[in-house]
Structure 1
Amino acid sequence: MTDDGTVHSTLPTATENAVRMVHRLTASGVGLLALLATVLCWMQRRVAPQTVKPVVWLVLVTVVLAVIGPLTPGYRYTLVTVTNVVGGTVLLGACWWLREALSSGATPYPTEPHRLLRVTLVILAVHVALGATASGLEMRGIHWVVFVHTGSALLTTLLLGSILWDRRKHAPLHTLVAAMTAILSLQIMLGMVALWVHGRPVAVGFVHAMLSPLLVAGLVSIAIRDRTSPATIPAYNQPEN
């Protein structure tokens, strides 16, 4: 941040412009995909009713991101940065939810996701929002939010760790749990590096941030597969022999 209060990117101008161009192109692509998904979902709503909710989320988030799009350049508003990051994370989660819903076919959802899963998804979203807030405010010389973000990381790790530990021996989720454990471990390591290394390399922060959407996708997969796996269906819902 300059003396007159103007916030500038730490990236070289050429890199900054290239990143913004890629962001605009991908945002346009996501908008077209959301429109296509909406049309297909409406046409197939009776055949695949399980796709309606993820498509609704996909469209809602896309609209929100489109509305704030013109406010994005220039780092004028921290709230816009936070909304972009959280919205993008939720958007990926919705897309992955749609993918999992289609993979499950016509399998009914026997139960709602476990409450701990829902709480963990919310806490993870808050953690992502705090990370985006910390990054946005640091560009204005405000550093204390980083420690709040670090504190939320402890709660997020505890909840995620509990979910992964409980499902470590569940055969259909074994590979997914192993992958999420590796991602979570890497994110913790990168978070510690970003916290303690002077200057905080951009690459470290970028990779650290990109791991959160992967954890969201993993949680979505666990939620859907828990609900569609016969092993999780209560005994009173099982057909009698």
Structure 2
Amino acid sequence: MFNSVKGKTVIVTGGSKGIGKGIAKVFAQHGANVAIIGRTLSTAEECAAELNADGGVTYAISGDVTDKESMERAVNAVAEKFGGIDVLCANAGIFPQDEIEEISDEDWNYVMDTNVKGTHYSIQTCLPHLKKADYGRIILTSSITGPLTGYRGWTHYGASKAAQLGYMRSAALELSSHDITVNAVMPGNIRTEGLEDLGDEYLEVMTNAIPMGKLGEVEDIGYAAMFFASPHTSFITGQTIVVDGGQTVPEDLQAK
């Protein structure tokens, strides 16, 4: 199934680090043409060079998901380079931590613009190319936080991730006639640079909350995205996969 993406062109927004880098790595390892779109070109280029050294076909380009014109330029450049676009992994997102009373209008808008409007702009600018493909796949990186769980300090983040899933379901209906599926991966606690920045105490608390007793790896999300990207999953749309090591399953947090 996974080798079925060989030769397909895949865009990964926010693909230069964290979960996005894991998604890009998995697709590149299985023969896809991977375009990493990031706000900082040098960081995207470093990631692309690393993946290319491992045998991938990876292209870095600058683009800001909160700016429609910027995304149009980036997406069109990718389509021109590879002759089209088959898969969009709308992954770019931010997760600042702020207590409710401390969230300014600017803070709120920044999270919503990046996580929700950014998803919309990514899809909107890719659609003309996805409609021309043999089949189109859109995979969102949502989260368990918001749709399924909550965490202190992440009200704006949780709201944005729940909003993504509302968008996804209506988009799945609208795009079904074009043979384009729209699905989402909902990560739990995945080992990334951003997660590690929250400190050892946070990592310990989160690890203890996971029945499997460990944090997820970025490649775990990459393989879930790969599943949705396959031509063999053409009858799955408007759905989610939770990848959290069982974190959302138990009614208690008893240690093993």
Q: TM-score, normalised by structure 1?
A: 0.27
Higher helix share: 1
Larger radius of gyration: 1
Q: Which one has the bigger strand percentage?
A: 2
TM-score where L is the length of structure 2: 0.26
